[in-house]
Structure 1
């Protein structure tokens, strides 16, 4: 569970060996204080039980919709062919040598969604049309994605929320892999993998929020390992930021 606004990992839940994320996500949601938050989850979490848990926790949701819900996907995508969106918004951006345009359309007329009452809190369906151009090669990539949401028709707000969702990849998963070597870890005995994973994430929270210098994550880790005074300063700085 990644809080994009706070740049913090809030919690994690181990997926059982013979299970999957669908059963782990509700357990994770129940240990969090979610009131007035927006929970964004990829297609694996697009489940009625998960939507119900989010609503019961006093939050709203934006759930990615893909082929794991084929009938719902057909009805949602079909709605955008003949129902006029209630709200629309386009945002442009440029980063990492790419120019991107993201057009968000939101529909609150759910007449085409025959089982809409089985999705707790469902108020809108969302379409994101993205167009990415590689500045160097000129190559253009287009993609259309769909979402279910408990939010009202505010395309600008929803567009921003969906874009922000991907900070979990850029600021958490990628950093853990590159700076902490998470994916290369071979720890398997007993609870070692889960324990070290948790310690790495606690360390990342401290580094990202202590704000003691402008060094990268690897530099912070190395300096903290070499200099106890710097380590204590970082811990105290994080505590001040947190409070």
Structure 2
């Protein structure tokens, strides 16, 4: 039976940033018993609490209906998994992402010099070999100090990340930040896009820019090193010695004028030894940057880049089971990716306990008050 709407409702903090999102059912036939705002709140509350499919989100809704009605009317109860699947398959993912970016921007506190790592990840479950549909790639920007995904852009192939990165940068407020990108993003247009946003770039140079890489390697044999910094890491069962060397005299670097505000080239030499076996290896990597010759800062920024893999992509795969998800229909996978990133952000922002992300999700499933704390309501 429909619930009376006499009791005032208190909406969650993120609702204002999604209020302008257009309901795709406006152009679909039939009666719509569940407002889009309620579907968003249900889905995010459920995913925070451990749900990872439309079926489990629907089950959460049925079992937690009384709790949900503290915040929204849910006059017609909660929807089936079919309703959830159809709505999120039809929802405009670009509009949903823009709302997400605005919401994150409201809670992020980016400081000058913060590292923003940009990297792509395949949504493995979004592919459909039967219908010849490749898995989607999502390029994300991750603020490493804040531990926040700032936004994302989806492409239908990894090679298209080059065009997606400037689109992503256009969405972000990153003035004063350091943007790190792997070799795929070492492009003149991307360097310019970063500088146009008032940020500095730090780009890995590999074989896709062979002429540039050869020149950078040669430069280290003919130009003096302006600054150097060494560090040691004794964790993860290995000993790693890293040396960061920076050159700022670039007169022998052909074509440097095509890279906007290029100031330095960098060489990172990593010597790793496995403690148990004593076996080791040495790896050398090269970068270009608009940063000045501060070797300690550059070394720290390069190390911070991998937070996008360890803290964002790993969490989405292992904690939220994104790679095993089978959300193939239309925009379903992309929109669930946004929901999962919202849930991850909210979980990371909850600092009253130092428990792991899976533990926080379990507590949220069992404890209504803790779930409300995570959702900031």
Q: Give TM-score scaled by structure 2 length.
A: 0.61
Deviation >4 Å, runs of 4+: none
Deviation at 1:139?
Answer: 1.5
Q: Distance in 1 between matches of 2:175 and 2:354?
A: 33
Q: Distance in 2 between matches of 1:204 and 1:139?
A: 38
1:120 paired residue number: 260
Please say if residues 76 and 112 of structure 1, whose CA atoms lie closer than 8 Å, have aligned partners that are also in contact.
Answer: no
**Please, which runs of 5 or more residues in structure 2 have no aligned partner?**
1-140
Return the match for 2:314 from 159, 164, 174. Answer: 174
1:14 paired residue number: 154
Deviation at 1:126?
Answer: 0.4
Give SS of 2:375's match.
helix
2:304 paired residue number: 164
Q: Distance in 2 between matches of 1:184 and 1:94?
A: 34
Give SS of 1:13's match.
strand
2:227 paired residue number: 87
Comparing 11-20 with 190-199, greater Cα deviation is found at 11-20
Deviation track 1:7-44 (CA, whole Å, cap 9, x = no partner) reads 11111111145961001000000111111100000000
CA 1:220/1:167 → structure 2, altered by over 3 Å: closer, same or farther?
A: same
Please say if residues 212 and 234 of structure 1, whose CA atoms lie closer than 8 Å, have aligned partners that are also in contact.
Answer: no
Q: Distance in 1 between matches of 2:217 and 2:180?
A: 19
CA 1:87/1:19 → structure 2, altered by over 3 Å: closer, same or farther?
A: closer
Structure with larger Rg: 2
Q: Distance in 2 between matches of 1:235 and 1:99?
A: 41
> Greater relative contact order: 1 or 2 (C-alpha under 8 angstroms, separation 6 or more)?
2
Return the match for 1:34 from 167, 174, 178. Answer: 174
Q: Distance in 2 between matches of 1:94 and 1:74?
A: 32
Q: Distance in 1 between matches of 2:165 and 2:234?
A: 33
Deviation at 1:90?
Answer: 0.5
CA 1:18/1:167 → structure 2, altered by over 3 Å: closer, same or farther?
A: closer
Comparing 68-77 with 214-223, greater Cα deviation is found at 214-223
Return the match for 1:132 from 244, 269, 272. Answer: 272
1:53 paired residue number: 193
Q: Distance in 1 between matches of 2:242 and 2:225?
A: 15
The root-mean-square deviation of aligned C-alpha atoms, in Å, is 1.4
CA 1:78/1:18 → structure 2, altered by over 3 Å: closer, same or farther?
A: closer
Q: Distance in 2 between matches of 1:82 and 1:144?
A: 18
Deviation track 1:177-206 (CA, whole Å, cap 9, x = no partner) reads 111111111211011000111111111111
1:74 paired residue number: 214
**Please, which runs of 5 or more residues in structure 1 have no aligned partner?**
none
Number of residue-to-residue matches in the alignment: 237
Q: Distance in 2 between matches of 1:165 and 1:53?
A: 19
